[in-house]
A and B are shown apart, each in its own frame.
Chain A
Amino acid sequence: MDPGMDPGAIPTLPRGVRLHRDRVRDQWVLLAPERAVTLDPIAHAILSEIDGTRSFAEITETLATRYAAPREQITADAAGFLQALQARRFLDLAT
């Protein structure tokens, strides 16, 4: 487990940050104030699991099962990605 990420923390997308299907470029993006972040399929899969109720640990568990991937790997990838979003105020973490 990444030391900076509380497994019980519940990630949420704050108001003004939303997933958007970019039909012109045929990809998913995260729209936020003054920014559009291009999402690869993994980043999109992680953000799609955020529902404002489930914890980081529950989300990574779901992803590990669905993609039959090592949980440690999924956890590390997701923690790095979500913490980078949090640093830019594109993600809130409720603990």
Chain B
Amino acid sequence: MTTRKAKPPIAMLAELTHRCPLACPYCSNPLELTRQEAELSTDDWCRVFREAADLGVLQLHLSGGEPATRRDLEDLVRAARDAGLYTNLITSGIGLTERRLRALDAAGLDHIQLSLQGTTPEMADEIGGYRGGFARKLQVAEWIRQIGFPLTLNAVLHRRNLHQLPRALEMALDMGARRIEVATVQFHGWALKNRDALMPTKAQAEEATRIVAEARARLKGQLVIDYVPADYHSDYPKRCMGGWGSTGLNVAPDGMVLPCHAAQTIPHLRFETVRDRPLAAIWFEGAAFNAYRGTDWMQEPCASCERKTVDFGGCRCQAMALARDPAATDPVCIKSPRHLDLRARADAHAAAEAPLTYRSAPGKPVATPAE
């Protein structure tokens, strides 16, 4: 295969574990979860962090599952900082104590991203499938503020809680967050089971866009707002991963190296693990990374589109899920022959009524909606 030499990645998402106390119906982890016995060891992760820094990674996102489930989280943060990486912890807050947060502070943790399932205990605990989770999260946010960690609040929004967006913005200010991610649920993996329960209406999506624009102007210099719109209702697809194999990579709990967190839904791709091969070799030479790198793989209408290096044809995993072809134009795009069909399906999902189908995991009790 002839490929132009790719640039080194800037960011790495380390999915330390798939274990998680929550059972969110939009969980972004794959349908088949990695069991604890198969997770990389502390030493393996520390080596991967050094390989990542040598490769050119600057930003390390420690995620999961719930990364606080790993008892060695503090050691992993220290190793990542020693390697020269900027360390960001992506957490629900469950499993963090004041003592652990102070240990993470001492280990050099740079930043915390705290997820928000709702702005009331009733909403948050129902969506997370974990009673008491909201109260715990507020306590963790207070410890974060006292210690002085920079904080991003990550509000995950969908049809059931989009009306809480104004309150989520207020909560970010109350918590002293510098930044909020307003992320409309992306429908991959487990979330596909919940489209009837969670798909926002087009009116909701437009209202969210209006609220974000107004808040960005009003809170300039005070709160930075990153916004992920409801893409089933958009005209153009998202620039997924900034372009496949161009800026970021994921390492799964068992060491598999993925171009994005959902890449394993593309059946023809073959992935490699950090147990067998150096990270740099996988990034530059791995078949999965080169499969959709650049623009040579594109079909029409992408191949001749003036936006082809703007959004790179959208999301490969979404093309797989909705068009059964990972090289197709993301059906979100108005130029896709499947766009009108997707619009109709989005409206049908949004008009449907369905109970939440909670994320299940091996050996974990199934969550049930609160009374």
**A interface vs B, CB < 8 Å?**
14-18, 20, 22, 24-25, 29, 31, 33-36, 86-89
Contacts and interface: CB of A to CB of B under 8 A. Distances in A.
Interface stretch (B53-61, B187-195, B261-269, B341-349): B53-61
A64 to B, nearest CB: 27
A31 B59 CA distance: 8
Nearest to A36: B58
A22 B59 CA distance: 11
A88 B149 contact: no
B56 A16 contact: no
Given A25-B56, A36-B10, A15 B148 contact: yes
A-B CB proximity, top 9 nearest: A16-B150, A24-B56, A89-B178, A31-B86, A33-B111, A36-B58, A16-B111, A89-B224, A87-B221
B149 A25 contact: no
A20 B150 contact: no
A63 B111 CA distance: 31
A24 B55 contact: yes
Interface in B8-56: 8, 10, 54-56
A24 B8 contact: yes
B58 A22 contact: yes
Interface size class of B (residues with CB under 8 A): 20 to 34
Contacts of B88: 33-34
A14 B148 CA distance: 10
Contact of B59 (A17, A25, A34): A34
A25 B152 contact: no
Interface centre among B59, B110, B150, B178 (most CB of A within 10 A): B178
A29 B86 CA distance: 12
Contacts of A88: 224
20 contacts: A14-B150, A14-B178, A15-B148, A15-B149, A15-B150, A18-B110, A20-B86, A24-B8, A25-B56, A29-B58, A33-B110, A33-B150, A33-B152, A33-B179, A34-B88, A35-B59, A87-B221, A89-B178, A89-B179, A89-B222
B58 A16 contact: no
Given A29-B58, A33-B178, A87-B221, 17 more contacts: A16-B110, A16-B149, A18-B110, A20-B58, A20-B84, A20-B86, A24-B56, A25-B8, A31-B58, A33-B88, A33-B111, A34-B59, A34-B111, A34-B152, A34-B226, A35-B59, A89-B222
Interface in B194-251: 220-224, 226
B65 to A, nearest CB: 20
A90 B56 CA distance: 22
Which residue, of B110, B113, B148, B220, has the highest number of chain A Cβ atoms within 10 A? B110
B222 to A, nearest CB: 8
Contacts of B84: 20
Contacts of A86: 221
A25 B7 CA distance: 10
A31 B88 CA distance: 11
A15 B8 CA distance: 27
Contacts of B220: 87
Nearest to A16: B150
Interface in B133-173: 148-150, 152
Chain B CB count within 10 A is highest, among A17, A86, A87, A89, for A89
A17 B110 CA distance: 8
Nearest to B181: A34
A14 B224 CA distance: 15
A24 B221 contact: no
Contacts of A31: 58-59, 86, 110
Nearest to A89: B178
Nearest to B8: A24
A42 B339 CA distance: 47
Contacts of A36: 10, 58-59, 86
A17 B224 CA distance: 14
